[in-house]
Amino acid sequence: MSTKQASAFETIPVGTDVTWHYRSAIGHGTITGVHKHGTTADDTMYSIRQHDHHPGEPAIVHHYGKALTRVAK
């Protein structure tokens, strides 16, 4: 028997395209996984591969779910 309890909420699925506000711009990326598990999808931190990062910016960023907006396909 595992001592790890199953999550009571669903995280944003890997592969979901999202946007987020960053300063005066909007970032675009794809969820690659959970960076830090919270108690809800909103306070869980996700790893996101940026689609349009600039030189000197990381390719993978981390944002809480409450800062993310899912992109409709």
Phi-psi region of 24 (alpha: psi -120 to 50; beta: other; left: phi over 0): alpha
Please tell me which residue, 57 or 62, carries the higher pLDDT value: 62
What is the phi/psi pair of residue 66, to 5°? Answer: -65, -20
Does residue 36 carry a pLDDT above 50?
yes
Q: Per the structure block, which two tokens stand in for 63? A: 């944002």
What H or E segment, with its residue span, contains residue 29?
strand 25-36
What local confidence, expressed as pLDDT, does residue 7 receive?
Answer: 59
Domain boundaries, the chain: 17-70
Three-point CA angle 52, 58, 59, nearest 5°: 50
Tens digit of each residue's pLDDT (9 = 90 or more) over 1-35: 334 445 579 999 999 999 999 888 899 999 999 99
CB 29 within 8 A of CB 62: no
